[in-house]
């Protein structure tokens, strides 16, 4: 059985001290009494434990925004998958564009992170997406194909996988691809993913990049769009909840 749809995840990025984060988590718990879909938040690592505790008893999952591929060692500033789990996290984002492009992570390290996280039983949200230059040069599909084939080892557990398509140029910009474009790209991603992992037919495909309450319904109504990975708009509980409802969640 896969995750209940819609799958709507909020990436809080580097936002939120403890009090704000707990208030946001609490506000979501009040709304999500018995959610029909899958809701999750990815707070900063510093508050992951507190947020996970606040979400206990709800069906909202808490995850980390990254993990290191090694189990432990001299890796200053990093956290391992087992540390995420120890802090109460059950999921982790891997390969977000702000780490690929801002911190130079390549598909080889991302592949190792995916395996490390799944080795601890964490749900992996693998983020893929093309840059604006790649899009304009007609290289989108080639880039996405590489990210899927190189980022996912053949031994990846499809039951612990979510794929998030986030065009780099749509993140935090207010711009999104056309609905037709998103639908076409998600169909392509489904084919590539199943070609890579035959068991991935039911892996949720999320769209991310400037998802807001105003565009969420149209985007999540598209075939092969199973939910959304939301950045900025997930920092407001009412807005995040309305995105979830726009995707059919109750």
209 binds ligand G3H (CB under 6 A): yes
Q: Is 230 in the site for ligand G3H (CB under 6 A)?
A: yes
List the one residue from 114, 211, 220, 222 that touches ligand G3H (CB under 6 A). 211
Active-site residue identified among 96, 98, 130, 186: 96
**Per CB under 6 A, does 130 bind ligand G3H?**
no
Active site residue 130: no
* 209 annotated ligand-binding residue: no
Give the residue with the Cβ less far from ligand G3H, 58 or 97: 97
Identify which of residues 53 and 212 has a Cβ nearer to ligand G3H in the complex: 212
> Catalytic annotation on 15?
no
Q: Among residues 208 and 249, whose Cβ is nearest to ligand G3H?
A: 208
Q: x/- contact string, 156-175, with ligand G3H (CB under 6 A)?
A: ----------x----xx---
- State which of residues 3, 11, 40, 213 lies at the interface with ligand G3H (CB under 6 A): 11
Does the footprint of ligand G3H cover residue 185 (CB under 6 A)?
A: no
Question: In 10 A of CB 230, how many CB atoms?
Answer: 27
The one catalytic residue among 105, 120, 166, 192:
166
Angstrom distance (rounded) from CA 174 to CA 30: 29
Stretch that binds ligand G3H, among 23-31, 103-111, 149-157, 203-211 (CB under 6 A): 203-211
| Paired residues of 124 in beta bridges | 92, 161
Query: Does 3 contact ligand G3H by CB under 6 A?
Result: no
Q: What number of chain residues touch ligand G3H (CB under 6 A)?
A: 14
Pairing of strands 205-208, 227-230: parallel
As measured in angstroms, the least distance from the Cβ of 232 to ligand G3H is 4
- Show which residues are catalytic: 96, 166
Binding site for ligand G3H (CB under 6 A): 11, 96, 166, 171-172, 208-211, 229-233
């Amino acid at each position: 059985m896969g995750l209940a749809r819609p799958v709507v995840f909020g990436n809080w990025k580097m936002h939120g001290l403890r009090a704000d984060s707990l208030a946001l988590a609490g506000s979501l718990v009040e709304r999500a009494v018995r959610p029909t879909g899958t809701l999750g938040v990815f707070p900063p690592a510093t508050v992951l434990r507190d947020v996970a505790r606040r979400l206990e008893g709800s069906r909202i999952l808490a995850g980390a925004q990254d993990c290191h591929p090694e189990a432990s060692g001299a890796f200053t500033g990093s956290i391992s998958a087992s540390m995420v789990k120890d802090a109460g996290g059950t999921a982790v984002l891997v390969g977000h564009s702000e780490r690929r492009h801002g911190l130079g992570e390549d598909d080889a390290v991302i592949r190792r992170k995916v395996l490390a996280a799944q080795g601890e039983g964490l749900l992996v949200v693998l983020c893929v997406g093309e840059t604006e230059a790649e899009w304009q040069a007609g290289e989108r599909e080639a880039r996405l194909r590489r990210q899927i084939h190189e980022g996912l080892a053949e031994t990846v557990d499809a039951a612990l996988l979510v794929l998030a398509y986030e065009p780099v140029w749509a993140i935090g910009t207010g711009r999104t691809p056309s609905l037709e474009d998103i639908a076409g790209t998600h169909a392509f991603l489904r084919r590539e993913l199943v070609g890579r992992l035959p068991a991935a037919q039911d892996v949720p495909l999320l769209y991310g990049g400037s998802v807001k309450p105003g565009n969420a319904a149209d985007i999540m109504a598209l075939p092969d769009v199973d939910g959304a990975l939301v950045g900025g708009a997930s920092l407001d509980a009412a807005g995040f909840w309305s995105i979830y409802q726009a995707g059919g969640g109750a």
